[in-house]
């Protein structure tokens, strides 16, 4: 691994300063200057990739992480950030694979667990997503954002379950509009009640069918 040139360090810190003021495109220019002097510095490539994520330039960011990982394939953070960039590009399976690689290298990598949970949620794999947020909380019980996302994932899972139960119930009963409205209005607070009422209606219909002459 090449040692960072002194001049590259100056450009690196300028880039950091621009990042701190959210001037991401100018920060990228500084990192490019640093990389002209130290092209084999994986930290510079990783930092440029992170800044490109902030700028919304996800395809360029992924390419930077590829370069960083070619220089340091054991960098768990680079794998996690590449996964995030791929997720933003809609490459969800690739994103999961990157997060898994990061977690193989560092099982306590909180951001890799969070990124994995977010991508799985987007893929509607709610139980797996919730497990990822539980893993975050096992590492850092005070991380409120993980608890919030876990609870939202569970709400989405339960709403999807209600929608599925409505489709099944339509074979036996006329589903009341108030139950359908829970799904269409995303009324998370009433999902449990709606499921209980729906199951009662289906149970009653099945009882009548059994005793029908």
* pLDDT tens figures, 130-140: 999 999 999 99
d(CA 147, CA 139): 12
pTM of the model: 0.82
Residues of the chain with pLDDT under 70: 1-6, 208-213
pLDDT in the model for residue 4: 47
- Predicted confidence (pLDDT) per residue in 41-55, tens digit: 999 999 999 999 999
pLDDT in the model for residue 116: 97
d(CA 18, CA 28): 9
Residue with tokens 């850092």: 140
Q: What is the DSSP letter of 107?
A: T
Runs of H (alpha helix) within the chain: 6-20, 24-37, 42-54, 58-71, 76-88, 92-105, 110-122, 126-139, 144-169, 177-184, 191-211
């Amino acid at each position: 691994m090449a040692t960072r040139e002194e001049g590259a360090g100056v450009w690196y810190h300028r880039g950091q300063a621009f990042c701190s003021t959210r001037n991401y495109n100018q920060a990228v220019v500084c990192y490019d200057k640093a990389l002209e002097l130290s092209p084999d510095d994986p930290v510079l490539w990783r930092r440029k990739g992170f800044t490109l994520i902030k700028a919304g330039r996800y395809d360029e960011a992924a390419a930077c992480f590829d370069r960083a990982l070619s220089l340091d394939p054991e960098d768990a953070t680079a794998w996690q950030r590449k996964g995030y960039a791929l997720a933003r590009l809609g490459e969800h399976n690739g994103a999961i694979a990157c997060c898994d690689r990061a977690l193989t290298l560092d099982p306590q990598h909180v951001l890799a667990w969070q990124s994995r949970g977010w991508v799985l949620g987007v893929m509607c794999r709610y139980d797996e997503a919730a497990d990822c947020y539980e893993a975050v909380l096992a590492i850092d019980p005070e991380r409120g954002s993980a608890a919030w996302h876990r609870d939202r994932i569970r709400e989405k899972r339960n709403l999807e379950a209600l929608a599925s139960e409505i489709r099944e119930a339509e074979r036996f009963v006329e589903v009341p509009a108030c139950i359908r409205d829970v799904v269409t209005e995303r009324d998370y607070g009433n999902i449990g009640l709606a499921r209980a009422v729906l199951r009662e209606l289906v149970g009653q219909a099945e009882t009548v069918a059994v005793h029908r002459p």
